[in-house]
Structure 1
Amino acid sequence: MVLDPAHSQLDGDTTRPSSLESHDTKGTRIGLGDQQTVSPDTPHEKETAAPVLAGGEGESAIPEDRKGDAVENAEDDWAHDERNPRNWSKRRKWAMVGIVSFYTLVPPLASSMMAPALPDIATHFGITNPTVQALTLSIFLLTFAMGPLLLGPLSEIYGRTWILHIGNIMSLGFNLGCGFVPTTGGLIGLRLLSIGGGTVSDLFSDRDRANAMAVYSLGPLLGPALGPVAGGYITQTVGFKYIFVVIGGLSAISAAVGIPFLRETYAPVIRLRIAKKSADPEKAAEQHPHLATSHSSGYHVLWVSLSRPFILLTQSFVCFLVSLYMALQYGFYYLMFSTFPKLFSETYGFRPGASGLAYLGLGVGFLISTAFGGKGKPEFRVPALIIGSLFVPVGLFWYGWSAQAATHWIVPIIGTGILGFGMMATYLPIQLYLVDTFTYAASALAAAVVFRSVFAFVFPLFGDQMYDALGYGGGNSLLAGIAIVLGIPFPIWLYYNGEAIRARSSLAR
């Protein structure tokens, strides 16, 4: 399981999008882990972020006409409260980012580590259809699509930590099963079942988030590039089954570090826990009714949260377009994974271990581009996106035609490095743009993950057939043409029109 970088309101921005909320019969607005009692005939009033609940002994009830002042004062107190994750020390913040990044490194690593072993897996299971062979690799990506739709919203209701812990333990079990499954169908099924990001935005303000998000995003992007390096040598020395044993071992290590040391970072959940531990929780709830979570309507709250990604994807044109462009990049990315083994084994005579090293070009490109992101309002993220969109087609052309000409092996790998640079230079600004733009950014990112994971699942299924029909040069030229048509005009349009679109949208901040 992997949760993409997400965001929730902690301070500063206090509005909530009315179209993503619902109300129960008592006029309680069902929000994202924090609620506010409002009059049923004023559903579009602004909400304030959830205040900390004090309510100690001897505290008198607050009159109706003073409750608004109490809420505002509680907000001021929370802004300076040492329990607020935004006020933690830098050391503690980065420790949390490090743990969560380790958690989110393992699933992407698992998604691609078996790529160099595809020929061995096909031989072992008697797979002759190239689509089925690619399916054993790409089926894992469907879990990336399904997981965030459920787990992203759940993390905004119940907190980040145990969502990560439980998903990691499930991943451990199912990946170990993949190593010893006897049939192709069993392998595909277990890969499908073995499916943190809100932590970054919980800890860092807008102006400080880019560096933390860059470190966090290295897991989902660098993991798939590093996985085949280890997978190739494991396959060559002890056999492909031990790839899954290693993945299970990494999951166990991350659990051993994460379970005792990872702390909750989502402010509404922290504040709700503080309320429950107060001397008089009922009195605290009366004084701050917008935090009195109605657990009796828990299923309704969950439904509202689960529906948000689909609402954002279908009702926000910007969310749809940036998600589509990110999906295109991910499709290219995983197409490379499924076709590298054939290219470098047949054209260059690489054994599984050496063919795994071919993926390092993508990884180096990712590392170089992590400095991109921009600061300030969401549109300040877009110039980096424009630059990255220019490198993607260049990398595709370079890789495709150098492979077609069977030049020295380093030449196509350099092309993949250029592609990796362009991909990361587009991926990170899009992530940051979604985080900065949407109030329920965990849900917005879940919507983006659905798009990109479906593309990453589908593209490898036709990779061999496309290259057999068009060649590496023609096939990559087709992909580069799509990247030019969709990727270059869109970021420029977004830079000049994004702010106006956000101003008209009830889904944006």
Structure 2
Amino acid sequence: MALALRPSMPLGHTDLVVVLPDQFSFHHQEAATMERPSLTLSTDSSHHHAAVPAGAEATDLPYRQLEETANFEEFTQETANGQILKSVKSNVTGKIEDYKLVTFTVGDPENPKNWSKPYKWYCTMVVSFTCFVVAFSSSVITSDLKGVMDEFDVSEEVALLTITLFVIGFGVASELVGRKPVYVSTMFLAVIFIIPCAVAKNTGTLLVCRLIDGIAFSAPMTLVGGTLADLWRSEERGVPMATFSAAPFLGPAIGPLIGGFLSDAAGWRWLYWIQLILAGVVFLLVTFTLPETYTPTLLARRAKKLQKEKNDTSYVTEADLDSRPMGEKLRIFMIRPFQLLFMEPIVFFLSIYMSILYGLLYMFFIAYPIVYEEGKGYTSGITGLMFIPLAIGVVASAFFAPAVNKHYLTLVAKHNGKPPAETRLIPMMISCWLVPIGIFIFAWTSYPNIHWFGPAIGGLPVGFGFIFLYNSCNNYLVDTYQHQAASALAAKTFLRSIWGASSVLFTTQMYSRLGNQWASSLIAFIALACCAIPFVFYYKGEAIRRHSKYAFVEDEENSSEKK
């Protein structure tokens, strides 16, 4: 591989031209039929047409950790000899020195993408179950808020804070990086702080420990997508991602169902003991059965091993060559999600949309008891059964995931492997109507004298629509902000968590003042208005991306030819 530094205008702008060797192996392509490709990586931070290699797994890339000249192929490609040569200026000597970027070899058994499918599916189910437990823990306590109110003599608003503070915690650590060490440490912290909740003698203990639990549980909720990207190649990821996407919605639907009967039989404290049992199981699974899957971490271990075995310090990873001070890395790490949220229309409006949907889910936890317990006189256990259609809708959507993925692969082939990011919005454009339809059904069948089946069945299209909307949004953000994907998803998660946490605080007052029918209808009208968002971005998204500072826009020709 040859490297050359080529100065270009304006002054201070330098291009790093990388010519890859013939034996370089690309995923999904025949290396023998390829010419020696070149790749230009711009060191100008204002240039937003980032050169991400074809076939790169965008969510694998630690973009916030690396400089603009980083060779991303180290993390996304396999090479014949397990290394890529690179010449850079040493921070120590100030001279140009040769380094060997450590990569996976072709068919490397240590590359998570090359593991057997049964093992990859086992890892997928473990992390998806982790997400289910987190979501379950956020909703199961809604089954007996009255028990907390009575024992501690507090208002409903204070009792609702046990939900609010937990969900707010999801947004605090949304930019955590890493895999297994973060899973293990945060799950251990979550398990420890569930215990004080179960034995709490006052509301202060309960609220503080719920907030800490929410922060600890944020790691699984934000890392699972990256774990799946580690394990599965793009064309394989549709069904595993659908499985994961169902977990955050299935957990809240099952939580009130189990919690209702449990609280009726054993009291509100057992709503926390059941969380402890499930979280304990997850902790054991991730600690003793879940391997490390994060490519930069695996390659860093290999580089250190090679340095020791060969007594050669030139074996490195791109992270080792990052010369930026820690303060600059942390600044980008913390600020970039907010820059995307408030400066990028695509991130802002999709985050608003997902926040409304997330808030709707948590508003249901308050609305269902109002309709069924207050309106029809049902117990908490029977009210929990009314969430079954919502859960069925979530599960049913997962069965359609292979068909959606097959359609997307057809579009990939149609566009020669590079479909526009807006193709990800097609499922969203179809399914967005299901949510307001379901809420309208719930709204106008919620009269006390109408059969219980009416409002319950409204949850079916809502649950079905949730998953397709959630999947499409995530995929569109990743494809649109390839080199900033993690920050874009973190921005969405932060706003979604804040809104979801806040919505439960005013739901009771809204239903009290507007009545069951019009309160639910108001939510439905808002969801209906949001249906315009995917259509606007489907037709105008490409133009918005081309004028964006951060969005990835594929150059029509090789960037080195355009300079």
The one of 159, 164, 168 equivalent to 2:187 is: 168
Larger fraction in strand: 2
CA deviation profile, 1:478-502 (whole Å, cap 9, x unmatched): 11111122x2211111112223333
CA deviation profile, 1:362-400 (whole Å, cap 9, x unmatched): 211111223255424432221111122111111111101
| Counterpart residue number, 2:342 | 314
Mapped contact 1:140–1:192 kept (Cα < 8 A): yes
| Counterpart residue number, 2:394 | 366
Mapped contact 1:396–1:476 kept (Cα < 8 A): yes
**Cα displacement (A) at 1:247:** 0.6
| Counterpart residue number, 1:341 | 369
- The verdict on how the C-alpha distance between 1:291 and 1:139 changes in structure 2, with shifts beyond 3 A counting, is closer
Give TM-score, length-normalised by structure 1: 0.83
- Partner of 1:279: helix, strand, or coil? helix
Residues in 2 aligned to 1:64 and 1:363: alpha-carbon distance in whole angstroms: 54
Residues in 1 aligned to 2:311 and 2:62: alpha-carbon distance in whole angstroms: 21
- The verdict on how the C-alpha distance between 1:83 and 1:17 changes in structure 2, with shifts beyond 3 A counting, is farther
1:140-219 superposed matches below 5 A: 140-149=166-175, 151=176, 155=177, 159-195=178-214, 196-197=223-224, 198-219=226-247
- The verdict on how the C-alpha distance between 1:62 and 1:434 changes in structure 2, with shifts beyond 3 A counting, is closer
Question: What value does the CA root-mean-square deviation take over the aligned residues?
Answer: 3.3
| Counterpart residue number, 1:7 | none
Larger Rg: 2
Amino acid at match of 1:408: H
- Partner of 1:404: helix, strand, or coil? coil
| Counterpart residue number, 2:279 | 251
- Partner of 1:508: helix, strand, or coil? coil
| Counterpart residue number, 2:21 | none
Amino acid at match of 1:477: S
Mapped contact 1:404–1:471 kept (Cα < 8 A): no
- The verdict on how the C-alpha distance between 1:351 and 1:14 changes in structure 2, with shifts beyond 3 A counting, is farther
Q: Which moved more, 1:163-172 or 1:338-347?
A: 338-347
- The verdict on how the C-alpha distance between 1:19 and 1:145 changes in structure 2, with shifts beyond 3 A counting, is farther
**Cα displacement (A) at 1:332:** 0.7
Residues in 2 aligned to 1:429 and 1:229: alpha-carbon distance in whole angstroms: 28
Amino acid at match of 1:48: F
| Counterpart residue number, 1:25 | none
Mapped contact 2:78–2:106 kept (Cα < 8 A): no
Tell me whether 1:394 sits opposite 2:453 in the alignment.
Answer: no
Residues in 2 aligned to 1:167 and 1:353: alpha-carbon distance in whole angstroms: 31
Residues in 2 aligned to 1:479 and 1:16: alpha-carbon distance in whole angstroms: 46
Aligned length: 469
Tell me whether 1:131 sits opposite 2:169 in the alignment.
Answer: no
**Cα displacement (A) at 1:287:** 6.0
1:459-470 superposed matches below 5 A: 459-470=503-514
Mapped contact 2:87–2:98 kept (Cα < 8 A): no
Tell me whether 1:443 sits opposite 2:487 in the alignment.
Answer: yes
Amino acid at match of 1:440: Q
The one of 528, 544, 550 equivalent to 1:484 is: 528
- Partner of 2:446: helix, strand, or coil? helix
| Counterpart residue number, 1:6 | none
Larger fraction in helix: 1
Greater relative contact order structure (CA < 8 Å, 6+ sep): 1
Residues in 2 aligned to 1:17 and 1:312: alpha-carbon distance in whole angstroms: 20
| Counterpart residue number, 2:31 | none
Amino acid at match of 1:49: E
**Cα displacement (A) at 1:64:** 7.9
The one of 290, 295, 309 equivalent to 1:262 is: 290
Q: Which moved more, 1:404-413 or 1:192-201?
A: 404-413
Residues in 1 aligned to 2:65 and 2:497: alpha-carbon distance in whole angstroms: 30
- The verdict on how the C-alpha distance between 1:384 and 1:507 changes in structure 2, with shifts beyond 3 A counting, is same
Amino acid at match of 2:262: I
Unaligned runs of 5+ in 1: 1-9, 22-29, 37-42
**Cα displacement (A) at 1:461:** 0.8
CA deviation profile, 1:430-482 (whole Å, cap 9, x unmatched): 12222333223232211111111111111111111111111111111111111
- The verdict on how the C-alpha distance between 1:166 and 1:17 changes in structure 2, with shifts beyond 3 A counting, is farther
**Cα displacement (A) at 1:426:** 1.0
| Counterpart residue number, 1:290 | 318
Residues in 2 aligned to 1:16 and 1:170: alpha-carbon distance in whole angstroms: 42
- The verdict on how the C-alpha distance between 1:64 and 1:431 changes in structure 2, with shifts beyond 3 A counting, is closer
- Partner of 1:148: helix, strand, or coil? coil
